[in-house]
Amino acid sequence: MRKIIIDTDPGQDDAVAILLALASSELEVLGITAVAGNVPLALTQKNARIICELAGRPDIKVFAGAERPLVRELVTAEYVHGKTGLNGPKWPEPKMPLQDGHAVRFIIDTLRDHDKGSVTLCVLGPLTNIALALVQAPDIASRIQEIILMGGGFFEGGNTTPAAEFNIYVDPHAAKTVFTAGIPLVIMPLDVTHKALTTAKRIAAFRGIGNAAGKATAEMMAFFERFDEEKYGTDGGPLHDPNVIAYLLEPDIYKGRKVNVEVETGSELTMGMTVVDWWAVTDRAPNALWIKDLDDDRFFGLLVARLKTLP
């Protein structure tokens, strides 16, 4: 069983990633840490608890983390996710409690309490919590099995500025801290997530599951995709964050290359850009596995099969 911590800013696509993790017996979710990103922290920590209850898992520990990026002012994305971050379904107020203590402290303590190299961090939002943990406790870098994250773009450019993807743009300084920490990284950029489209047929498959999780997922996707359909002119929008969890479950769905990835933090024009040395034109050592392709039918098949097991 793979032990993971999910760091997240839900977000409809984050919600589906959490559902996939909680529906997978191969994964032991040690806790969920919320960060400000798609919407402010007060909503992301609430949304994480809503999704745990939807999955029938009120036992999962949810912690609130950073309210703002390390250096810059917080940028949010209600224009994509709606005012709550989970627009689409009508959600009840969560009954499960928010845990006492800060998310960063939980990350540090959990990594120290478990065997070295036995915990994977699955990062679905800005990297603020992870960077703060590394700054406060540098020893944990060598204890992390790997970090799998959704963020960045190279061939696809950016989705928030011409150069930058949202998660990296929100806190580029945190991303730079993580990318230079010497931790094994697997990156799910826009280059691959833009190939995982929630077509009408795929949304119908979620709705056809017949359980609460399937219905909620279909309603979230129907709301979430409207922005990207208009923006990109595609049938459906990209389903970003569940790729992080799917990679843990079936890595052979994906293809990528080990490359060097640096984050721009000095230029307002390209702030948050992920500079990927795809063709090895520098002498910078590879620091990440950059995922570029996936079998999208297998990806959505996995999602439907696992969500069927939920309430």
Q: Kindly name the residue from 81, 102, 194, 240 that is annotated as catalytic.
A: 240
Residue type, 281: V
- CATH code (residue 204): 3.90.245.10
- pLDDT mean over 27-37: 98
Taking the mean position of all CA atoms in its chain, how far away is CA 274? 16
Higher-confidence residue of 184 and 230: namely 184
- For residue 244 the two structure tokens come to 């992080």
pLDDT greater than 90 at residue 237 = no
In this predicted model, what pLDDT tens digit does every residue of 43-84 receive, in sequence order?
999 999 999 999 999 999 999 999 999 999 999 999 889 999
Q: Is 308 exposed, middle or buried (0-12, 13-18, 19+ CB in 10 A)?
A: middle
Using only the alpha carbons of the chain, give its radius of gyration. 18
pLDDT at 161: 97
Q: 41: closest CA among 16, 67, 11, 18?
A: 67
Higher-confidence residue of 235 and 77: namely 77
In this predicted model, what pLDDT tens digit does every residue of 188-198 receive, in sequence order?
999 999 999 99
pLDDT greater than 70 at residue 229 = no
In this predicted model, what pLDDT tens digit does every residue of 117-141 receive, in sequence order?
999 999 999 999 999 999 999 999 9
pLDDT at 227: 62
Length of the chain: 311
DSSP β-bridge partners for residue 259: 288
pLDDT interval class at 282 (50, 70, 90): very high
Q: Which residue range forms the structural domain that includes residue 300?
A: 2-307
Q: Which residues contact 162 (CB under 8 A, 6 or more apart)?
A: none
pLDDT greater than 80 at residue 232 = no
∠ Cα 165 19 22 (to 5°): 120
User: Number of folded domains in the chain?
Assistant: 1
Question: Does residue 194 have an active-site annotation?
Answer: no
**Lowest-pLDDT choice from 88-92, 225-229, 252-256:** 225-229
